[in-house]
Chains A and B, each alone.
Chain A
Amino acid sequence: MILTYIEVRNGKVKKSSLETLSEARRAAAAMGVAAEAVLVGYALDGALAEVRSSGAAKIHLLESPELADYSSQGYALALEGLVKETAPAAVFFPATAMGRDLAPRLSARLGVSLASDCTAISVSSGRLAFTRPIYAGKALLAVTLPASPAIATLRPNVFPLEPETSVEAEIIRKTVAIPAGAVKGKVVEVLGESGAAIDVAEAEIVVSGGRAMKGPEGFTLLGELAAVLPRAAVGASRTAVDSGWIGHSHQVGQTGKTVSPNIYFAFGISGAIQHLAGMSSSKVIVAVNKDPEAPMFKVADYGIVADLFQVVPALVAAIKALGA
């Protein structure tokens, strides 16, 4: 069996968890085993409704009032119990902030290693093989994890979503007992969580600007483009962030976020390797740059050699014209 960790935030299931479950279903089918899912937290019924028919044969709910707020220790403890009981061949997590915090904790608890931030998974002679970018995407590493279970985190926006099924999962509820003193740290507050702003790492379209934006006004302009595109967010190069034109949470690249949207727009970003590290797995890359020699054009699917301050408004107009 392959178990998928379904991340619940604010009572809602994260889309990257469903992508992870989709890949788990494909891998499980190739291995001839079942795909199951697990939700950890408290009062999970709302979230459960979202995943009931996502193709998991069984859904495990691990609940306790003490798990209402995320803690790596509490969640790892809960998952350890389930893994020991159900002996999955693999446990998949989305490579989100939570998944990347929790998966290695569970791995160490079970005494097994893990493959981080995978971008491809295959099955050959019954064994799972994990492919992940290393050296900031300059190389791809394929590994197997001989110990059981194999634990992996899967990069969001990379694995396609499988359609819902008509089959409803069997629900298995458990109340988890958390021994006193087992949890020495937990989330006490989530700041600035707003339903409206989409994170660059989760957006389907990322509109990024670099040094050429010249100042915060440049990013206001990019915001106007993002506003006319579906599920879009504004990203930035490190130079733009370090200049104080936009917050660090928008930074794409090695020291920022890794994104793989359907479309990545790079406006006035030269294409330094540390920037490419964060966006080269994007499905379609558009480069707009005055310099025809800019390295970004080497990875771009579409390029426009022009002044971005002329191209951005023209794009806003062209997209608005579609809707009209």
Chain B
Amino acid sequence: MNVLVFVKRVPDTESRIRIDREAKSVVEEGLNFIISPYDEYAIEEALRLREAKGGKVVVASLGPVETLATLRKALAMGADEAVLIKDDRKETYDPLRVARVLAAFARNRQADADLLLFGRMSVGSDNAAVPSMVAEILGLPQANVVTRLEIEGATATAQREIESALEKISFSLPAVVSAQKGLNEPRYETLKGIMAAKKKTIPVLTLSDLGLPEEASVPQVEVMNIELPAAKQAGKILAGTPEEAARELVRLLRTEAKAL
């Protein structure tokens, strides 16, 4: 069972976000970058599948050359191979552009993958769209926001969270699955893993290596502006005993906020 995992290098979720003067992009200077947290569930699931069924785990990312460090972490967790698709464009917030590149990579370079694993959303651009788009471009079935995955031969069953319920999806392989918290508990890198990862070379591909002309990767999303949300006015602190404060709160929620 060969598993292809897509990971993205993203700013740490604790980061303070600053916006450039043109209000078109986020200032990257000073940000600390990590593997998008959901992608770690995807890597962990891939490693578990390999442990149970054999095969190999290949991790790939589209991003700037600094993404090599992100991929190295995936290798240290235990992935067999990592590939960087080098992209010098800043964040475009365009999921279709990313999906086209990742799908071309999967089709041209990893045609033997039985499963394509993703995170349910890349934190930062917050699209939650790339997995479904890759699935569509490759004509594969999909299961998104998955908290349980079972594979039996060439078919799989996944559980995903929907409003007030869990949805069970049955699908054939190869397929696209995106991981949600709850699927597993990602392992930490071991010292041995880190040492082994250092020895591996990470091939670096360009978009033209994938047979994609530059134009094919021009973003289709036009950024008008990026701004910080308006700062909220300080709220009212309600004084008195807990009983008095509770009564006052209920009164304000009804008469002032008109929310009750």
A residues near B (Cβ < 8 Å) are: 9, 14, 70-73, 76, 96-98, 100-105, 107-109, 111-117, 129, 132-147, 183-194, 197-199, 201-202, 229, 248-249, 251, 254-256, 262-263, 273-274, 277, 280, 283-287, 292, 297-307, 310-311, 314-315, 317-319, 321-322
Q: Is B212 an interface residue (CB 8 A)?
A: no
Q: How far is the CB of A277 from chain B (nearest CB, A)?
A: 8
Complex: chain A residue closest to B142, CB-CB: A72
Q: Is the interface of B mostly helix, strand, loop or mixed?
A: mixed
Q: Is the CB of A134 within 8 A of B164?
A: no
Q: How far is the CB of A14 from chain B (nearest CB, A)?
A: 8
Against A, the Cβ 8 Å flags (1 = close, 0 = not) of B48-82 are: 00000000000000000000000000000000000
Please name 7 pairs of A and B residues whose Cβ atoms are closer than 8 Å in the assembled complex, sorted by A: A104-B132, A139-B229, A144-B224, A145-B222, A248-B182, A284-B257, A310-B242
Complex Cα distance, B228 from A52, in Å, reads 40
Q: With A191-B166, A302-B252, A311-B246 as known contacts, state yes or no: A146 contacts B140, CB within 8 Å.
A: no
Q: Which residues of A are found within 8 Å of B226, using beta-carbon distances? A: 134, 139-142
Of the candidates B97, B166, B222, the one whose C-beta lies within 8 Å of that of A190 is: B166
Complex: chain A residue closest to B140, CB-CB: A184
Q: Is the CB of B235 within 8 A of A300?
A: yes
Q: Is the CB of B143 within 8 A of A185?
A: yes
Q: Is B93 an interface residue (CB 8 A)?
A: yes
Q: Is the CB of B132 within 8 A of A101?
A: yes
Q: Which residues of A are found within 8 Å of B8, using beta-carbon distances? A: none
Complex: chain A residue closest to B220, CB-CB: A113
What 7 A-B pairs have minimum CB-CB distances, sorted nearest first?
A185-B171, A185-B141, A314-B246, A104-B129, A108-B136, A97-B162, A108-B133
Q: Which residues of A are found within 8 Å of B96, using beta-carbon distances? A: 107-108, 111-114
Of the candidates A103, A135, A143, the one whose C-beta lies within 8 Å of that of B126 is: A135
Complex: chain A residue closest to B97, CB-CB: A113
Q: How far is the CB of B260 from chain A (nearest CB, A)?
A: 7
Complex Cα distance, B182 from A255, in Å, reads 10
Complex Cα distance, B136 from A299, in Å, reads 40
Q: Is the CB of B26 within 8 A of A135?
A: yes
Supplied contacts A301-B257, A303-B236, 9 more A-B pairs, CB within 8 Å? A96-B162, A105-B132, A114-B95, A114-B129, A185-B169, A185-B175, A201-B163, A255-B37, A284-B253
Complex: chain A residue closest to B171, CB-CB: A185
Binds A, one of B9-17, B104-112, B192-200, B201-209: B9-17
Q: Is B151 an interface residue (CB 8 A)?
A: no
Q: How far is the CB of A276 from chain B (nearest CB, A)?
A: 10
Pick the most buried of B161, B168, B169, B247: most chain A CB atoms within 10 A of its CB.
B169
Complex Cα distance, B131 from A9, in Å, reads 23
Q: Is B47 an interface residue (CB 8 A)?
A: no
Q: Is the CB of B129 within 8 A of A143?
A: no
Q: Is B84 an interface residue (CB 8 A)?
A: no
Q: How far is the CB of B23 from chain A (nearest CB, A)?
A: 9
Pick the most buried of B17, B97, B221: most chain A CB atoms within 10 A of its CB.
B221
Q: Which residues of A are found within 8 Å of B143, using beta-carbon distances? A: 185
Q: Is the CB of A101 within 8 A of B144?
A: yes
Q: Is the CB of A190 within 8 A of B237?
A: no
Complex Cα distance, B115 from A132, in Å, reads 31
Complex Cα distance, B128 from A76, in Å, reads 17
Q: With A116-B128, A302-B236, A317-B246 as known contacts, state yes or no: A139 contacts B13, CB within 8 Å.
A: no
Q: Which residues of A are found within 8 Å of B99, using beta-carbon distances? A: 108
Q: How far is the CB of A43 from chain B (nearest CB, A)?
A: 20
Complex: chain A residue closest to B173, CB-CB: A184
Q: Is B191 an interface residue (CB 8 A)?
A: no
Of the candidates B128, B141, B160, the one whose C-beta lies within 8 Å of that of A73 is: B141
Complex Cα distance, B163 from A98, in Å, reads 9
Q: Is the CB of B126 within 8 A of A305?
A: no
Q: Is the CB of B144 within 8 A of A109?
A: no
Q: Is the CB of B242 within 8 A of A189?
A: no
Of the candidates B15, B94, B235, the one whose C-beta lies within 8 Å of that of A113 is: B94
Q: How far is the CB of A308 from chain B (nearest CB, A)?
A: 9
Q: Is the CB of B160 within 8 A of A144?
A: no
Complex Cα distance, B32 from A276, in Å, reads 20
Q: Is B124 an interface residue (CB 8 A)?
A: yes
Of the candidates B141, B222, B246, the one whose C-beta lies within 8 Å of that of A143 is: B222
Pick the most buried of A9, A184, A262, A311: most chain B CB atoms within 10 A of its CB.
A184
Of the candidates B94, B141, B169, the one whose C-beta lies within 8 Å of that of A188 is: B169
Within 8 A of A (CB), among B215-248: 219-229, 232, 234-238, 242-243, 245-247
Q: Is the CB of A314 within 8 A of B243?
A: yes
Complex Cα distance, B140 from A46, in Å, reads 32
Q: Which residues of A are found within 8 Å of B123, using beta-carbon distances? A: 135-136, 254
Complex: chain A residue closest to B238, CB-CB: A304
Q: How far is the CB of B150 from chain A (nearest CB, A)?
A: 12
Q: Is the CB of A135 within 8 A of B221?
A: no
Q: How far is the CB of A231 from chain B (nearest CB, A)?
A: 11
Complex: chain A residue closest to B92, CB-CB: A113
Q: Is the CB of A136 within 8 A of B257?
A: no
Complex: chain B residue closest to A143, CB-CB: B221
Of the candidates A183, A201, A249, A297, the one whose C-beta lies within 8 Å of that of B235 is: A297
Q: Is the CB of A315 within 8 A of B168?
A: no
Q: Is the CB of A318 within 8 A of B142?
A: no
Q: Is the CB of B172 within 8 A of A184?
A: yes
